[in-house]
């Protein structure tokens, strides 16, 4: 009996199978995103706590090695975080309050200069303000509009921050039990692989958080010193914006650097603005060619295009918060993929017996 001939060729059937897999994956991702958005008040503190645990884990481990009880060490670490973050927020807010009027006045002066020189439609102050609001609504999304909307979101944010801090305490205190809990939940035969994936993801996030914090501090100090030397108004506030913006790779540095140059242009003239641009570019070159390879050499390296697409996707899903969380979560995903490739990658075919002439 003659076998029936397939209706579609082999290449078309493989293509159809891959399309079905991609559609199924897209559906799962979409449902996951909708569930996360629906339960964001519970999911966001967990994600922030995981990032905080990754950043503070080394300090907690050092305290435990020094003989401090795990609970006491976790409590001291959380107290240190509250002190450091509270102090940093106070410094940033105080700097912005002291220099905010100067920065805004300089930006308005720069806008007037652009409008006077070019005089085209869309360069008036009203058009610039409306365009800025539209850009904020596009990239700020839920977070930015929610903060403006009312006190309820502020209360919700405070509640999520407190919950995240409590979760950091418990994650640090019980970190020694995490591997055992994960192994107990793993399917039979997959415990080692699941634990290895979790450890690789945690190392990637730890490296990203520590490296980004150190790089942000160096960038902010260098740019602040440069702006002080150039006598640009609001140097402290602009440096604070550089530090905060560094947690959004590439885009944050670009926006904060552009603001510094605009302020220098409006207040100190074209020559000083060029020097300010030189300072910003020098710091970016230092970050890209020295700090990033040296500080984050042990973490997952991602192409800038991947980072930009990730930030844009995070902004479309969760606004500013999504932009902050997108890159470390992607770093964790890349770490998991690397672990899977290491474990299940195709082994190079062993060389067959050589046909040697007798």
pLDDT tens per residue across span 42-98: 888 888 888 888 888 888 888 888 888 888 888 888 888 788 777 766 766 666 666
Asked whether 241 and 259 are in contact (CB, 8 A), the reply is yes
Q: Read off the pLDDT of residues 3-17 as tens digits, 9 standing for 90 and up.
A: 556 667 778 888 888
What would you report as the CA-atom Rg of the chain, rounded to the nearest whole angstrom?
25
Q: What is the C-alpha to C-alpha distance for residues 136 and 311, in angstroms, rounded to an integer?
A: 15
Q: Read off the pLDDT of residues 25-43 as tens digits, 9 standing for 90 and up.
A: 888 878 887 887 788 888 8
Q: Count of residues for the chain?
A: 358
Asked whether 107 and 262 are in contact (CB, 8 A), the reply is yes
Asked whether 298 and 207 are in contact (CB, 8 A), the reply is yes
Q: Read off the pLDDT of residues 172-231 as tens digits, 9 standing for 90 and up.
A: 888 878 778 777 777 777 778 888 888 888 888 888 888 888 888 888 888 889 888 888
Q: What is the C-alpha to C-alpha distance for residues 68 and 318, in angstroms, rounded to an integer?
A: 39
Q: Read off the pLDDT of residues 163-172 as tens digits, 9 standing for 90 and up.
A: 888 888 888 8
Give, in order, the Cα–Cα distances in Å from 135 to each of 83, 294, 329. 34, 35, 25
Spatial neighbors of 243 by CB under 8 A, at least 6 apart, are 92, 216, 217, 219, 220
Q: What is the C-alpha to C-alpha distance for residues 249 and 4, in angstroms, rounded to an integer?
A: 57
Closest CA to 89 of 9, 169, 157, 23: 157
């Amino acid at each position: 009996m003659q076998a029936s001939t397939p209706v579609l060729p082999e290449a078309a059937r493989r293509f159809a199978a891959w399309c079905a897999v991609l559609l199924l994956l897209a559906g799962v991702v979409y449902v996951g995103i909708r569930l996360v958005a629906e339960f964001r008040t519970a999911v966001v503190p967990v994600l922030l706590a995981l990032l905080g645990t990754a950043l503070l884990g080394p300090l907690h481990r050092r305290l435990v090695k020094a003989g401090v009880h795990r609970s006491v060490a976790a409590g001291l670490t959380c107290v240190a975080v509250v002190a450091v973050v509270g102090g940093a927020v106070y410094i940033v807010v105080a700097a912005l309050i002291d220099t905010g009027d100067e920065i805004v006045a300089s930006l308005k002066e720069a806008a007037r200069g652009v409008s006077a020189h070019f005089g085209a439609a869309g360069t008036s102050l009203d058009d610039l303000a409306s365009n800025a609001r539209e850009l904020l609504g596009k990239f700020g999304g839920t977070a930015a509009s929610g903060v403006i909307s009312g006190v309820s979101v502020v209360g919700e944010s405070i509640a999520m921050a407190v919950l995240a801090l409590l979760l950091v305490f418990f994650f640090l205190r019980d970190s020694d039990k995490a591997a055992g809990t994960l192994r107990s939940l793993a399917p039979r035969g997959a415990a080692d692989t699941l634990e290895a994936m979790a450890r690789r993801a945690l190392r990637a996030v730890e490296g990203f958080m520590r490296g980004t914090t150190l790089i942000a501090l160096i960038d902010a100090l260098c740019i602040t010193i440069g702006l002080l030397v150039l006598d640009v108004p609001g140097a402290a506030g602009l440096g604070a914006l550089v530090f905060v913006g560094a947690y959004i790779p590439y885009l944050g540095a670009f926006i904060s650097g552009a603001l510094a140059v605009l302020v220098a242009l409006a207040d100190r003239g074209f020559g000083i603005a060029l020097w300010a641009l030189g300072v910003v570019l020098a710091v970016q070159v230092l970050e890209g060619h020295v700090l990033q390879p040296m500080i984050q050499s042990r973490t997952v390296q991602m192409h800038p295009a991947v980072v930009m697409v990730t930030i844009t996707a995070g902004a479309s899903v969760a606004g500013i918060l999504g932009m902050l969380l997108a890159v470390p979560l992607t770093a964790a995903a890349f770490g998991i993929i690397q672990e899977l490739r290491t474990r299940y990658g195709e082994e190079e075919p062993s060389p067959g017996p050589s046909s040697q002439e007798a």
